[in-house]
Amino acid sequence: MSSSPQDARLETLLDEAEHALDEGAPHAALSLCTQALELDPNHPGAWFVRGDATRALGALEEAADSYRRAALGRPDHASSWASYGLVCFEMLDLTEAERGATRAIREDPRSPEGWWVRSLLAEWNGDLDGAERCLLHARFLDPVGYPLPARLDDDEVEQLVEEALTELHPDIQAYLENVAILLEELPAEEVLRYYDPPASPLELLGFFSGHSLMERSTEDPWSNLPPTIVLFRRNLERHAGSRDELVHELQVTLFHEIGHFLGLSEQDLEDRGLD
């Protein structure tokens, strides 16, 4: 049975929206999804692609609502549930994240996205072995989409940090003598909520806490307390496609946080290629 002109138009709009996303044009994709939903306000595919577009634009609440509508419109679509779970995880709504991952795997036990979100939740809860098992399962189902990250142990990170510091001017090295440089697996929730809106638990690679050199004052003894730089190993590993990329990402993140210690703004860091 042939499709109606409206159905054909709707499918064309969604194809164009997905192409726009592939080309890195989420605003265009969102506009096309809006047109598709004007034709059919309940179309699950249109809501799903809208979720992808709004997530690419950083509008996580809108993305979660779009994925939820897509999942409710087509409850057997595991990718909608998994995407909903992932966005909820990024918003630190862990209950809904668990719901999305569980429903995705229930609808399709071979959903790599569902197993990946479950690995993130296990990792967040400190179950690193369980997280590794879920990640291995996602990789088994989709080796290209979910590769195993390169790993660095504590000794390797310490050596890389020391090597990176030797590249700095001696004056900066002297300033850093009283700065603690720490390694943690993941950012704590209170660190993520330091930002407004809260930082994604997947995106934060490092964190500087304390007063910068520019903020120190003899009139405020608290401003002279030793500051801290923290590197988040799991996120650094996740962002790198290879060991060489991981080493580079660690160095860039370290220099980024040192820049904050020196009093540089985000724009200053971006201008120096340290964004």
Enumerate the domain spans of the chain. Answer: 5-141, 154-271
Q: Could you say which architecture CATH assigns to the domain 5-141? A: Alpha Horseshoe (1.25)
Looking at the chain, the whole-number percentage of residues with pLDDT higher than 90 is: 72
pLDDT reading at 3 higher than 50 = yes
- Of the listed ranges 2-6, 29-33, 219-223, the least confidently predicted one is 219-223
Q: Residue 219: what pLDDT?
A: 53
Average pLDDT, the chain: 90
15-19, 194-198, 262-266, range with greatest mean pLDDT: 15-19
Write the pLDDT tens digit of every residue in 261-271.
Answer: 888 766 766 66
CB atoms within 10 A of CB 65: 17
Write the pLDDT tens digit of every residue in 122-166.
Answer: 999 999 999 999 999 999 999 999 999 999 899 999 999 999 999
Residues 97, 222: Cα–Cα separation, whole Å: 39
- Of the listed ranges 44-48, 254-258, 266-270, the least confidently predicted one is 266-270
pLDDT reading at 106 higher than 90 = yes
Sheet holding 228-232, edge to edge: 180-184, 228-232, 206-209
Q: CA of 248: how far to CAs of 145, 163, 241, in Å?
A: 22, 12, 11
Q: Residue 226: what pLDDT?
A: 76
Q: Residue 223: what pLDDT?
A: 47
Domain 154-271 - what CATH class? alpha beta
Stated pTM of the model: 0.88
Look at residues 254, 247, 274 and name the one whose alpha carbon lies nearest to residue 208: 254
